[in-house]
A = this chain, B = another copy of it.
Amino acid sequence: MKKHNFSAGPCILPQSVFKESSQAILDFNHSGLSILEISHRSKDFVAVMEEAQHLALELLRLEDKGYKALFLQGGASTQFLMAAYNLLEKKAAYLNTGTWSSKAIKEAKLFGEVEEVASSKDKNFNYIPKNYNIPADADYLHCTSNNTIFGTQIKEFPSVNIPLVCDMSSDIFSRELDFSKFDLIYAGAQKNMGPAGTTLVVVKEDILGKVSRQIPSMLDYQVHIGKDSMFNTPPVFAVYTSMLTLRWIKEKGGIAGIQKLNEEKAALMYGEIDRNPLFEGFAALEDRSIMNATFNLKDEKLKDLFEDLAKAAHINGINGHRSVGGYRASMYNALPKESVEVLVNVMKELETQA
């Protein structure tokens, strides 16, 4: 019995991707070899890496605009320090919208001055700050597009004349944006792109090479670009499975097609949170994430009943993060609308039984 997997990440991927990647472990491309035992320098894998890079740029509409796509290791947490290592000469501006922004700020402070342009910490990050000043002399502005833990999402990005860096780990490939506004985008794969173990970095080349410090090879974007993301052995399986997922997104009509489905799922979910008198949403209405819906029971006494009903309906992964409590329904690209319907029905059933 398959579960309805609302896990915040690693999370559900398309069923076809599970099948294809499982098969490739037994026999990749009818080669008589497993995807796990082939050389990363083999023709077959070089083709995988190139297709993954190409698809990423194509889906983001960033082809022929001076960007490179890299599939690195170490997660967004490594990007927190790499972004600063490569770009922070004197001062950087950071928008603080939650746990991950705060961690990015902590790492950046090792490399220079950090100006926090705004923060929503005053209300446990339940909203996105607006109308803040961005220092014109900062080396870049860093923001987090979607806050998995708090269920908020930036709807309108600031217009800046300095490089714009964005951690899109939890909403990449989920909605149409003018991605050319950004100079560095990074995203751990394990939400909308693939399994844990690789990180997409999309970087505009002309922002690089401007800091005076020496950068260790593995932390230097220019080194990875120079080697087409194969400076050292890449995480072969994670890149392959990401490539399969990117193909699936393209088949679904690209980001536009996926966005439509995501908005339907989010409307269904938030509709019930707002309608059902037993629940209340956590995030400010205008900043609600279409990826992660955070909500609480108004009456904690209903906790066991709600969770029993959810379990009986084969629902997995709706417990909220400890810093928010309550529940979180993560509705990443691959989550079927049917799963949201099942959860909504459980919420309705609770109302009947309570």
Say yes or no: is A311 at the interface (Cβ < 8 Å to chain B). Answer: no
Residues of B within 8 A of A3 (CB): 31-33
The digit string for A258-284, where 1 denotes a CB below 8 A from any CB of B, is: 000000000000000000000000000
The complex places the Cα of A194 from the Cα of B182 at a distance, in Å, of: 36
Chain A interface SS verdict (over half): loop
The digit string for A4-21, where 1 denotes a CB below 8 A from any CB of B, is: 010111111100001101
Q: Which residues of chain A in 22-59 are interfacial with respect to chain B, using CB atoms and an 8 Å cutoff?
A: 22-23, 25-26, 31-34, 36-40
The digit string for A68-84, where 1 denotes a CB below 8 A from any CB of B, is: 00000111111011000
The complex places the Cα of A18 from the Cα of B26 at a distance, in Å, of: 6
Residues of B within 8 A of A164 (CB): none
User: Interface residue tally of chain A, by bracket?
Assistant: 35 or more
Residues of B within 8 A of A121 (CB): none
Residues of B within 8 A of A74 (CB): 73-74, 78, 218, 232
Chain B nearest CB, measured from A75 CB (Å):
5
Identity of the chain B residue whose Cβ is nearest the Cβ of A316 in the assembled complex: B33
The reply to whether B196 and A106 form a contact with Cβ atoms under 8 Å apart is no
The digit string for A184-219, where 1 denotes a CB below 8 A from any CB of B, is: 000010100001111000000000000000101111
Residues of B within 8 A of A23 (CB): 22
Say yes or no: A18-B36 contact (C-beta < 8 A), given A75-B233, A218-B77, A218-B78: yes
The reply to whether A110 and B238 form a contact with Cβ atoms under 8 Å apart is no
Say yes or no: A218-B81 contact (C-beta < 8 A), given A36-B13, A233-B190: yes
Please tell me how many copies of the chain the complex holds. Answer: 2
Say yes or no: is A1 at the interface (Cβ < 8 Å to chain B). Answer: yes
Say yes or no: A77-B231 contact (C-beta < 8 A), given A25-B22, A37-B11: yes
Q: Which of B9, B81, B241 has a CB less than 8 Å from the CB of A217?
A: B81
The reply to whether A25 and B18 form a contact with Cβ atoms under 8 Å apart is yes
Say yes or no: is A168 at the interface (Cβ < 8 Å to chain B). Answer: no
Say yes or no: is A343 at the interface (Cβ < 8 Å to chain B). Answer: no
The reply to whether B197 and A237 form a contact with Cβ atoms under 8 Å apart is yes
The reply to whether B5 and A110 form a contact with Cβ atoms under 8 Å apart is no
Chain B nearest CB, measured from A155 CB (Å):
26
The reply to whether B233 and A9 form a contact with Cβ atoms under 8 Å apart is yes
The complex places the Cα of A329 from the Cα of B203 at a distance, in Å, of: 39
Residues of B within 8 A of A198 (CB): 197
Identity of the chain B residue whose Cβ is nearest the Cβ of A8 in the assembled complex: B39
Say yes or no: is A135 at the interface (Cβ < 8 Å to chain B). Answer: no
* Shortest Cβ-Cβ A-B pairs, 6 listed: A197-B235, A73-B73, A22-B25, A77-B232, A81-B216, A36-B195
Between A and B, 20 residue pairs with Cβ closer than 8 Å are A1-B32, A9-B233, A11-B37, A18-B37, A22-B22, A25-B25, A73-B197, A73-B235, A74-B74, A74-B78, A80-B216, A80-B217, A81-B217, A81-B218, A103-B217, A110-B214, A195-B236, A196-B234, A196-B235, A197-B238
